[in-house]
Amino acid sequence: MKISFQGELGSYSHQACCEAFPDAEPLPCRTFEGAMERAKGGESKYAIIPVENSTYGRIADIYYLLPESGLFIIREHFLRVNINLLALPGVSIREVKSAMSHSVLLGQCRKFLAKNNIKGVSGVDTAGSAKLVSQNQDRTKAALASPLAGQIYGLESLVEEVEDMSNNTTRFLVMANDSGENNVTEAKQFMTTIIFQVRNIPAALYKAMGGFATNGVNMVKLESYMVAGTFTSTQFYADLEGHPDEESVNRALAELKYFTSMVKILGVYEADSFREYNS
């Protein structure tokens, strides 16, 4: 079974793939679109895609890609992001003058870099940075990446878990070409992910949200973004607690449809246990 993801081997998406599907074959792709296309075309069983990080926020462009992918969300996975300072074997931290990584990851290690007088250098991605450090053989250059990247590219961890926030976590969505891949029927807690577009009437969003409040449905995430290249057409992404077959969720969705021009369910899946332990 192959799982497609964006990034190099050793990336955090690769690590999430290994955690969620230990026996699967990882299929690295250059872009998020490419990872989704592999699943859509059957080259991979699933695509695993990051959507948000507890420190950085939402992953750019993902909310535009999800509705157009033709895929269904069948699972979520939360990855604890541990960032290690990786260098060539035998190098000491005193020798390191710069550390390369993705700009997002550099922003999550500002305190560590400043404390150790190490210059942050922006790279294409985390695992790619580790690969470059391994190839260049420059003892003054290090990478900020996952422990998995260190293992793959033969680098040593000079310092482990250098991230500024100890709870740094990324949420991933597992996506399949067939909604029937999700056969969970007895989950303790369900999640439902939807996208919708409100009608162009006064207070449409306020009225659309009212159904969730009156029916006691918890909306844990709401994101808005422009569509069709205009400032008047806004689409929303939302994560709800519950299953559409539950009476409260069914009523809330029915009220939502009344005030919207489009509602689409992207997935119904079991809530990850991470939510229960971090609520």
Q: Please tell me the total count of domains within the chain.
A: 3
What pLDDT, on the 0 to 100 scale, is given for residue 120? 96
Residues 43 and 112 in one domain: no
Whether 170 is catalytic is yes
Interval 249-260 mean pLDDT: 93
Interval 243-264 mean pLDDT: 93
Between 165 and 73, whose confidence is greater? 73
Please tell me what DSSP assigns to residue 56.
T
CA distance readout (Å), 120 to 16, 76, 106, 111, 154: 25, 32, 6, 11, 21
Best CA proximity match to 96, nearest among 107, 105, 84: 84
Whether 214 is catalytic is no
pLDDT for 178-218, tens place per residue?
Answer: 866 666 666 689 999 999 998 877 888 888 899 999 999 99
Ramachandran assignment for 2, one of left (phi > 0), alpha (psi -120 to 50 degrees), beta (any other): beta
Could you say which of 172, 190, 236, 259 is catalytic?
Answer: 172
pLDDT for 114-160, tens place per residue?
Answer: 999 999 999 988 999 999 999 999 999 999 999 999 999 999 999 99
Q: What is the CATH number of the domain that holds 202?
A: 3.30.70.260
Domain of 128 in residue numbering reads as: 84-159
The strand pair at 219-226 and 234-241 is best described as antiparallel
What pLDDT, on the 0 to 100 scale, is given for residue 230? 62
Mean pLDDT over the full length of the chain: 91
Please state the pTM of the whole predicted model.
0.90
Kindly compute the dihedral angle of the four CA atoms of residues 53, 130, 166, 31, in this order, to the nearest 10 degrees: 10
Residues 90 and 76 in one domain: no
**Torsion sign over Cα 132, 135, 140, 145:** positive
Residues 132 and 251 in one domain: no
Residues 174 and 73 in one domain: yes
Best CA proximity match to 244, nearest among 217, 205, 279, 221: 217
Could you say which of 170, 192, 193, 260 is catalytic?
Answer: 170
Best CA proximity match to 116, nearest among 77, 162, 173: 162
Between 279 and 142, whose confidence is greater? 142
